Structure 1
């Protein structure tokens, strides 16, 4: 079966995942993390991709981003592959890549799906057992959204703005969303969607997206289609 083209659409938020090769760490120390974020900021500016959220784990990276043009995401990841990997290898006198295959991505329907993806990203370090509270996740966008610092790397998405009329209201509303959590079913849905390349949204959004992209955006039902009634 031919591999489906990756979903990418200008002006829509995308949940993106990058995975290290088995046995490798993407980030050995804070210098690596700082270098990655520096390249990410420069590549985002160069390829007109707005970054709304991120988290850096030892062997994974999750991003929430909106490209101005559809190819912006691929160009962004290519830049990370060239420039960050070169820096990483130069520090360790090594050769070869870091990524386990292609990056994974999914398109999110504006609204609840985007906000849920942001919560997913900002709680990844907690879910992985690396911190005891999201506010401790230094290498993520969580502290920015909780009002603990201002991260110049980030462009606030509309869904976050709609949480309140003032920064304090938005931060408190987001803090409550983080405390409430997503629930295991929603976490599984978003995680499966990004790794399998299926879009997240309601039926109308998915139908419109399939028409725009010319490819399936959700897995087909199992089994044979029902026979038409005679």
Structure 2
């Protein structure tokens, strides 16, 4: 069976993960983390991709983004590969690919899952044993959302602004959310959606999404299709 193209829809929220080739560490030290974040900060606006949350782990990258066009994510990833990949190989005296062949992504209903996605991303370093709390990890957007620093990579999503009328209210509200990890069942739903590439949201959201793209946003119903005769429907 032919593999479906990625589901990328202009103007929609996307949860994205890129994993290293063979689970080998890509970020070996501070210089690697800095180089990737610097490249992403410069290239994302050029390719019209807004980054709302991120976490850079040694063997993977998690992002929450909104692309302005259907090709923006692919173009950004190609540019990142050229910029970061070439610098990385030169810096470490190596050659070859760094990442799996395809990044994984899914379109997400922001009304239902924006803050879930942020929490899933910013808790990833803690889950991986890299930090005690999300705020302790230097290579994610957690400190920005909690008001500890301003991260030039981040474009705040309107859903984040709904947490309060002032920066202080928004940051305090988000800190309360980030105090606890995402429930395991919700985390599994997000991970399953991003790995399979099916849109995550209610029926109305998925149905509306189907009007915006030629690519099927969700799996087909299970079981054999029902046969329709002239007189009746037969199971």
2:112 & 2:204 partners in 1: Cα distance? 15
Per-residue deviation, 1:227: 4.6
1:95 & 1:177 partners in 2: Cα distance? 42
Partner residue, 1:134: 134
Q: How many residues align?
A: 230
Partner residue, 1:47: 47
Partner residue, 1:217: 217
Q: Note if 1:5 corresponds to 2:1.
A: no
Partner residue, 1:168: 168
SS in 1 for 2:62: strand
Contact 1:125–1:131 under 8 Å retained in 2? yes
Contact 1:144–1:151 under 8 Å retained in 2? yes
Q: Note if 1:111 corresponds to 2:117.
A: no
Deviations 1:74-126 (A, max 9, x none): 11111111110101100111111101110111111121212211111111111
1:118 & 1:109 partners in 2: Cα distance? 13
Contact 1:112–1:159 under 8 Å retained in 2? no
Deviations 1:25-72 (A, max 9, x none): 110000001000111011112111111111000100001111111211
Matches within 5 A, 1:23-172: 23-172=23-172
2:120 & 2:204 partners in 1: Cα distance? 24
Task: Calculate the TM-score normalised by the size of structure 1.
Answer: 0.95
Asked which structure has the greater CA Rg, the reply is 2
2:114 & 2:31 partners in 1: Cα distance? 30
Q: Measured at CA, do residues 24 and 180 of structure 1 come closer, stay the same or move farther in structure 2, by a change above 3 Å?
A: closer
